[in-house]
Structure 1
Amino acid sequence: MEIHFKSYACSDDVTSIRFYGITQDPETHSYMMVLDYAKDGNLREYLKINFNNINWKQKLYNLNDLSFRMMNIHELDIVHQDFHPGNILSSDFKVMNISDFGLSKLIRANPNNPEKKNIFGVLPYIAPEVLSGDEEYTKAADVYSFGIIAYEMITGFPPYPDIPHDNDLAMKICNGLRPKIPFHTPKLITRVIMRCWDARVTYRPTFEELCAELWGYYSYYRDYLKYGKYKESEIGIQIKKAEEFSANQESTNTTITTPLNYQTHPQAIYTS
């Protein structure tokens, strides 16, 4: 609760979901946080229903918005540690809020008493250095999670939906397995995602760097659509090609697996 309140109250922009206070169950005497109601639920459920209605302008905006909010969290020296679409909430998904700081920690808290290296969270979003036990959760591990989330936001597919989320998958992730990004995805966005989930921790960008880069892509594409500017921008050209490919696929192949009809393995777990 302390970290959730800190992320809400100490940031110039509302980063986490609105926090109203605490209440107490009259029977069990357990304390509960009172948070804003997100009528559209979490990002994963929203994508399942609405992915085909999300255009590239909205995708770029959402990626930038999410990186901006995580930048604010990291500026408070908070590591989320359980960052996945189930913990991203909204009422319209034009503005997203981050929730569930139950596993989060302040980086500089108790420096003389480091915590034992425990692994928790949702397996596909956990960085390989954490899975292997080589590293604690760090800001770079949150960036890895963002890379997997970005893949899901761009493709509409959760990571590894067709296999069990077990020790074998954890081992494969440590050995370099990553979700397959469709080849027609704009190369600039593919590059962002792959940098985020790089096995080499120091090669991953910070959220400050991601926010600046993604804002550039969004603003160029927005102004292209609205004012006809930047027609030769790389991001605009790549998105146009991606849209043409997707339209052609839809018109010629009615049996392909889509974000609206994919099957999930019974042991593929996406909740924490």
Structure 2
Amino acid sequence: MSRNETSKNKTTAALLLAFATAFGMAQEVVAAADRSSSSSASKSDQQSEATKQTLLKEKQRKVEHEAQEVIQETRNALLAFQKQDSAKAMALLQEVSGKLDILLARHPDLKLIPANVEADVYDLDSDPEQVAKMVDTADDLLDDDKVQDARYILSALVSEIRISTTSIPLGIFPDAIKEAAALGDQGKTDEAAEALSATLSMLVKTTDIIPLPVLRAEALLSEAAQLEHQNDLSQEQSRSEVLKVTDAAKQQLKLAQALGYGDKEDYETLYDSIDGIKDVIHSEKSAETWNRIKQSLKDFKNKMMHSKK
């Protein structure tokens, strides 16, 4: 092995060790609703956490109690059939059919009824420069056909909240339940179990993905807008604090951009909007500029929130 190859391998090993630490920071945190802000969390972190909770609650409000029970009781009926307990299974399916009738009557035009919402958080503590180094190293590894080493690095490059919704397709689920019940009524327990397993596979799962750096940027910009009117600061102090916080918001957006969330054009529009505030702080144009920033970020966030099955 040549000296250059040895040096390159040592460098790669050192980088992988460093990235292993970053990867540890990106471990999945399940059930985001149970997360609480630490006493040392900054105001912007608390605001972004509140935003995450609001998004989750908005999704949860759409969940129907009967829909939750339909899925659980269908699973219990499947288990009962598998254990050859047809009486229990048939009783459960009768309850399921009754609850589906309620949902159909309540929502005659609804194709999907939300039944369960879960949130996973993947939080990467890094900066745009470090992310760029990780991407460059992954590129080098791919050039050397070291796909798995590159995958290990790239898998850490995520910072987002994923809100997954499981829904019942009301157009086909009720009939599928009735078909399974008919098989059970005929004593065909194995066929009924297979039918219920196929029915449960009809459930639709969608995931909304919201980049955490974008949420943090939004929280920081909201804080900056309030700082402009803080009474205990002079105009000079206020301006300094506003610019400091807006710079921090731009840093978060640059992190989101480095992680590959969104297009370059989207960020250029946002950066231009944010940069515009420095020329109008404490002027009559300030409110209009903040509103423009708020709208630009709202449009961007809505674009970032996409669903995938």
Shared fold per TM-score greater than 0.5: no
TM-score (norm 1): 0.26
- Structure with bigger helix share is 2
Q: Which has the larger radius of gyration?
A: 2
TM-score (norm 2): 0.23
